[in-house]
Amino acid sequence: MRDHLVLYINGKVHEVRGGDVFVPLTTYLRERLGLVGTKIVCSEGDCGSCTVLIGRVRPGGGGGGGGEAGGIDYRPVCGCIQLMGQLDAVHVVTVEGLSDEGELNPVQREMVRCQGTQCGFCTPGFVVAMCGHLEEERRPTKQTWTRALTGNLCRCTGYASILEAGMAVDAGPGKWRRVGERYADAAIAQRLAAWERDAVEVCDGLARFAKPVDVRAAAAFRAAHPDCTVVSGGTDIGVQVNKRMRAITTLLSTAGLRDLEEVRVEAGAGSISTLIAGARASLTEVERAAAKALPEFARMLENFGSPLIRNAGTIGGNLANGSPIGDTMPAMFVLETEVELTGTNGSRRVNMNDFYTGYRQTVMQPGELVTAVRMRLPAAGELFQVYKISRRKDLDISSFTAAIWGRVSGGRIETMRIAYGGVGPVILRLRKTEAALTGAEFSEATFAAAGAVARSEIAPISDVRGAAAYRLQLAHNILGKFYAQTAALQRTGGRAATNGQGEHA
Amino acid sequence: MTVVGKNIPHESAATHVAGRSTFIDDVPPRSDEVFLEIFGSPVAHGRLKSLDLDAARAVKGAVGIFTAKDVPGHNHFGPIIQDEHLLAAEETTFVGDPLVLIAAATREAAVRARLLVRAEMEPLPAIFSVDQAIAAGSFIGPERVIETGNVKAALAAAEHTLTGTLDINGQEHFYLESQAAIAYPGEGGEMLVLSSTQHPTEVQSIVAEVLGVPFNHVTVQCRRMGGGFGGKETQAAGPAAMAALVAAKLKRPARIVLDRDTDMALTGKRHPFTAFYTVGFSSTGRISALQLDLFSNGGCTADLSPSVLERAMLHSDNAYFLPNARITGRVCKTNLPSNTAFRGFGGPQGVAAKENILEEIAIFLKRDALDIRLANLYGIGERDITPYGQKVENNVLPQLISDLRDSAAYDRRRSEINAFNAQSTSHLRGLALTPVKFGISFTKKTLNQANALVNVYTDGSALVTTGATEMGQGVYTRIRQLVADDLGIPYERVRIGPTATDKNCNTSPTAASSGTDLNGAAALDATGRIKSRLAAFAAPLLNASAENLRFADDFVFDPAALDKRIAFLDLVCRAYLERIDLGERGFYITPGVDFDRDTGKGTPFLYYTNGAAVAEVLIDRFTGELAVPRVDLLMDAGIPLNPGIDRGQIIGGFIQGMGWVTTEEVVFDAKGVLLSHSPTTYKIPNISDVPEIFNVRFFNNPDSAKSLKRSKALGEPPLLLSIAVWAAVKNALAYAAAGAIPPLSLPATGEQILMRLSHLRQTAARRAIPESAPAR
């Protein structure tokens, strides 16, 4: 048992003790270490000015990144919403750690040459995010650069010059030095791997921090500290801490539970497969796995937060956090996903539809943690669509979310499941609308009429993300959109091309 | 090797990308420094009954707590009307209005203490909207009028008239670096203030007045801002003065860095406007008369609102001739944060009001809006006098629009869109071309002046300082380019120092797109006089006459006798030994500009910057979601000083404007609390919002003789091109409106689009039988 954190920052070992365990990474970098290249703007993960790379030892064999097993995966995340406690046994690389022996690296050089920087305040975040993209993508395109940088806001350039800079970088072998080539990565990886296996507990006055390394110990800690804050990816906890909505006295980090990171597809009886994701699987990993297994879900995840958020945020965290506008939930509702909960007495499975009991309330017992989700995948011929409507397409909390799954045969609706988010204190299944559709003709008129039923069984509120009338209209119209999309798909005979424009024809 | 006209990277780019550029909060703290937090009014309009500061004082690390009675000098200031307080003494006028300053040894302690302050307030009646202000007669300053011809008679005689209202919402600056300052007390009442400000001189005067010391005791310095956009023209002064007040009181350095939520809640924004209009026009779409009444929401104090209103009125012709017009304007006083300068400074609202009218005329006449626009453009040699009496010269718009119409394939795409909208049940497309004619110069004549200091050192390097502040727009880079070429020395040997009030006095804000025009000209005035002295000294050495000498390629020579030349370094060393002054102060005033706001007549602008945009939008009929798949911009930059930086201004300004007209919505609740107070709830454009096809070109215009090196100011004009996106949405909705004019306010959010579409659908359903033409 260690009583402090240990991690690398720009290739140097740092031990973190006492109250520093509870501060955000950016505070630690700027105020304790004087590394002021990393900027703070929003303190809530919505601008990317604080982007840093977090390097973690690649889990044996699996995982993304494309490097050899045992190496380090460096992923860009928002440093302002990473509490230091989450960062035991990692390698943090900041903008100061990305130059080539004091010279500008190729990303930096192209940002200069292409006028990719004006006022300069967002620039370090962009540079780090761009270097992060080249960790994973050797042949970046305009599209991959755009997808990679949705988490970074710039108010000066209008982004075009930044995209040009990205496109101008020669990322070929020998031209671009990955982070692992800048540091003694093999040696660092070895030490990180050893530190990872250490459980950590830190006390600072009344405040207490724990990083257990097995699920049972984590459950026991939670049972012993019912009021503890469990932090997984930290993308919401970090915001609550920064915005003073939450004061932490006891913090339980699940970062040491690395066997909960796996995502796999399990073939079952008949044509039924299940996507099984460990609770600590990052949304990036879930998106990657879903790209083949559940493309409609993956497409929605592409607009979930930003890469910086998805690299940190976990599927289990999103679910346990229980926001009524959590983007992953409606799909899990209609796919009758099972949530695996593990406590000191073992595991149990709960149907997603029974998981929430009220606003941010769940059936979890004090000593339980979410350890996995099991999504039953739609079979061939089953209809499935996911919708996320927000003011801005990327990096925006939804005004309205929806998922619809169903089966049609002989021109009639056999069964239909509908879940909406953003229209009540919890994600809602629209049972009356489902009943109205069941057995009805699969037609535009049916779905138009169902829209009126949908309106009648929800009572959304008006807030900054939209008026109640707007949400009611979306609740109505989304059924029409579902019909238009799936009818077109049925005509073209399959789940092939739905790029959002497919319905033009 | 000359550098003017070349694509030179931004002068700070290399340190920006390495994270080594220093912004205010990157300055290492001194060990005795304190950090400030502001406690503001919990109500929009109220009277302070009592303050409980005991718990805050008791917080470990709290060093000092200050209220209005601690202000030694004036507690009142303001750029036009002295109606602002640094700290509210009794009456508060918006939610967040500063009441108490908390100084603590750490940020954490300052926040903890702030959370423990309690204020008991007696709430007073509050108003928030333009409508409420009009009803209550709550205004700031008098009504302004610009008038030409006889509107009443012309409206009566018009073939057609249309009457309507356009609501335009505000816009948050969202500079990435929030308002920030550090004040260092010196000896004998001196104060050094590092401030993230577009207007060091104003910060200097306000700090001095708050402290009750002469201006010469206060030095304000700004190396750079992490974005400004107008938000740091007047509103940097408050935080800076707070830091100075605390520094003077405690005799310790004081730092203030507003967190994002506080910055957004406390500072003013682009003014919301409501435009009421009646327009008369012929069947060809030519406008004969316009009555336009503009009401801006100024917020709780005047700030720059009267000037913003004035520029809105001066731009409500946009690029179109108005034979008869009466344009009135009033600033509404409300209980919101005081709205302020924002890139365009009222121009965008004036132009949006006008472009909306043109779209509506087109819908009414069932014509393409481009035809209506062309029919109304200012002429060349005729129909070229603005409502305020300035003649439109060097009018390139007819040619520029024709060029853009071709390059953007406007006509072909119009037919495609007609066909698409006729058959698609899932989506709507819209297309619009809008021009801009933006007047360059401060409309307040006094501000059209600048001074510069140029020092040449005996190693042949030069240091320039001016009143221009660097906020990312590249003014430092351009001035370096101008000075390097004028002295004929390499760009690398010219440095531009931090902008500071002890080097350049009585400067104007870096605003109104004028930073380079004014300060660059002042710098050239200085270099010109240094060169005169050097040339007079060099002439006998070179056996040439001084007026024939050229400074280029690091040498001084007579082009007619190139074999005899002297190196610049050699010359300045010898000149120094002979006691010739190598430093100079330059000064510049814009010639010929004048505007009388009482009569609404004059020549407020030195020249106009022109451009045009074609924007295409795609709307999801089910969800209202908006995409902008293609934009084509054509901008008249004269002869660009730095095409790379100029292009950055065009694209950056356009995308920022696109945010204003689409996703950026400033939302207050019914009690005046800002709900859109952080990037989670306020959505500026994201990289994925950049149009998939985005063509940006310069229009070749070598004839702009009036401007500096025949370049044109570009800071603000491109923002107004974004109105094409909004107009394209209106155009798309018109396709769904069955001949009626679809109402649309600004911004065109997905929510508004969906609700408008739903309403149009219901209206269309009701209208289905019997089919009737709109009777107006």
HEC states along B231-269? CCCCCCHHHHHHHHHHHHHHCCCEEEECCHHHHHHHCCC
pLDDT in tens, A277-313: 999 999 999 999 999 999 999 999 999 999 999 999 9
Taking the CA atoms of B218, B221, B226 and B231 in sequence, report the sign of the dihedral they define. Answer: positive
In chain A, which residues have their Cβ closer than 8 Å to the Cβ of B689? Answer: 392-394
Geometric angle at alpha carbon B686, from B683 and B690, rounded to 5°: 130
Query: Under 8 Å CB-to-CB from A131, ≥6 apart: which residues?
Result: A53, A76, A98, A105, A107, A179
Q: Which amino acid is at B19?
A: G
Q: Do A118 and B473 touch (CB under 8 A)?
A: yes
Q: How confident is the model at residue A68, as a pLDDT?
A: 56
Residues 91-110 of A with CB under 8 A from B: 94-96, 99, 104, 107-108
Q: Band of the pLDDT at B766, cuts 50, 70, 90?
A: low
Q: What is the mean pLDDT of residues A175-186?
A: 93
What is the Cα–Cα distance from B526 to B517, expressed in whole angstroms?
15
pLDDT in tens, B648-697: 999 999 999 999 999 999 999 999 999 999 999 999 999 999 999 999 99
pLDDT in tens, A234-245: 999 999 999 988
Peptide bond into B239 cis (omega under 30): no
Q: Which amino acid is at B416?
A: E
Q: How far is A408 from chain B (nearest CA, A)?
A: 22
Q: How confident is the model at residue B534, as a pLDDT?
A: 98
Q: How confident is the model at residue A502, as a pLDDT?
A: 37
Residue A482 pLDDT greater than 50, yes or no: yes
Is residue A72 within 8 Å of A189, Cβ to Cβ?
yes
Peptide bond into B747 cis (omega under 30): yes
Residue B738 pLDDT greater than 90, yes or no: no
pLDDT in tens, B154-167: 999 999 999 999 99
In chain A, which residues have their Cβ closer than 8 Å to the Cβ of B755? Answer: 467, 469-470, 473
Q: Do A115 and B9 touch (CB under 8 A)?
A: yes
pLDDT in tens, B280-299: 999 999 999 999 999 999 99
Cα→Cα distances B521→B448, B471, B704, Å: 11, 19, 16
Between the two ends of chain B, the Cα-to-Cα distance in Å is 65
Q: Band of the pLDDT at B15, cuts 50, 70, 90?
A: very high
Residues 408-427 of B with CB under 8 A from A: 420, 424-427
Nearest to A473 among B7, B689, B758 (CB): B758
Q: What is the mean pLDDT of residues B418-439?
A: 97
In chain B, which residues have their Cβ closer than 8 Å to the Cβ of A156? Answer: 227, 472-473, 648, 652
CB-neighbour burial class of residue B593 (10 A; exposed 0-12, middle 13-18, buried 19+): buried
Between the two ends of chain A, the Cα-to-Cα distance in Å is 63
Query: Under 8 Å CB-to-CB from B769, ≥6 apart: which residues?
Result: none
Contact of B684 with chain A, judged by CB distance below 8 Å, is answered with: yes
Q: Do B16 and A159 touch (CB under 8 A)?
A: no
In chain A, which residues have their Cβ closer than 8 Å to the Cβ of B663? Answer: 391-392
**How many beta-carbon pairs below 8 A join chains A and B?**
240
Q: Band of the pLDDT at A269, cuts 50, 70, 90?
A: confident
pLDDT in tens, A410-469: 999 999 999 999 999 999 999 999 999 999 999 999 999 999 999 999 999 999 999 999
Residue B776 pLDDT greater than 50, yes or no: no
Contact of A156 with chain B, judged by CB distance below 8 Å, is answered with: yes
What is the Cα–Cα distance from A49 to A26, expressed in whole angstroms?
10
Q: How confident is the model at residue B761, as a pLDDT?
A: 80
What is the Cα–Cα distance from A402 to A120, expressed in whole angstroms?
39
Q: Which of B559, B468, B479 is nearest to B509 (CA)?
A: B468
CA dihedral B473, B239, B244, B116 (to 10 degrees): -150
Q: How confident is the model at residue A65, as a pLDDT?
A: 42
Is residue A421 within 8 Å of A325, Cβ to Cβ?
yes
Scanning every residue of chain A, which has its alpha carbon at the shortest distance from the alpha carbon of B264? Answer: A42
Q: How confident is the model at residue B768, as a pLDDT?
A: 46
Average pLDDT of every residue of chain B: 96
Interface test with B, best of A10, A104, A107, A118 (most B CBs within 10 A): A118
Torsion-angle region of B600 (φ positive above 0: left; ψ -120 to 50: alpha; else: beta): left
Interface test with B, best of A52, A121, A241, A476 (most B CBs within 10 A): A121
- Range with lowest mean pLDDT among A105-114, A172-181, B348-357, B619-628: A172-181
Interface test with B, best of A147, A392, A491 (most B CBs within 10 A): A392
Going along A21-168, which residue ranges are E strands? 51-57, 72-78, 91-93
User: Which SS3 state, helix, strand or coil, does residue B671 take?
Assistant: coil
Q: Do A470 and B115 touch (CB under 8 A)?
A: no
Q: How far is B472 from chain A (nearest CA, A)?
A: 3
Q: Measure CA A304 to chain center.
A: 7
Scanning every residue of chain A, which has its alpha carbon at the shortest distance from the alpha carbon of B26? Answer: A36
Contact of B655 with chain A, judged by CB distance below 8 Å, is answered with: yes
Catalytic residues of B: 716
- Range with lowest mean pLDDT among A5-9, B199-203, B322-326, B709-713: B709-713
Q: What's the whole-model pTM score? A: 0.97
Q: What is the mean pLDDT of residues A22-29?
A: 97
pLDDT in tens, A454-468: 999 999 999 999 999
Geometric angle at alpha carbon A95, from A93 and A96, rounded to 5°: 90
Residue B765 pLDDT greater than 80, yes or no: no
Is residue A473 within 8 Å of B755, Cβ to Cβ?
yes
Residue A373 pLDDT greater than 50, yes or no: yes
Residues 38-67 of A with CB under 8 A from B: 38-44, 46-47, 49
What is the Cα–Cα distance from B613 to B404, expressed in whole angstroms?
8
Contact of A435 with chain B, judged by CB distance below 8 Å, is answered with: no
The total number of residues shown for chain B amounts to 776
Q: What is the mean pLDDT of residues B525-547?
A: 97
Nearest to B426 among A463, A474, A484 (CB): A484
CB-neighbour burial class of residue B565 (10 A; exposed 0-12, middle 13-18, buried 19+): buried
Q: Do B755 and A119 touch (CB under 8 A)?
A: no
Q: Band of the pLDDT at B772, cuts 50, 70, 90?
A: very low
Q: What is the mean pLDDT of residues B483-508?
A: 98
Cα→Cα distances B694→A161, A170, B281, Å: 12, 23, 34
In chain B, which residues have their Cβ closer than 8 Å to the Cβ of A481? Answer: 426, 620, 622-623
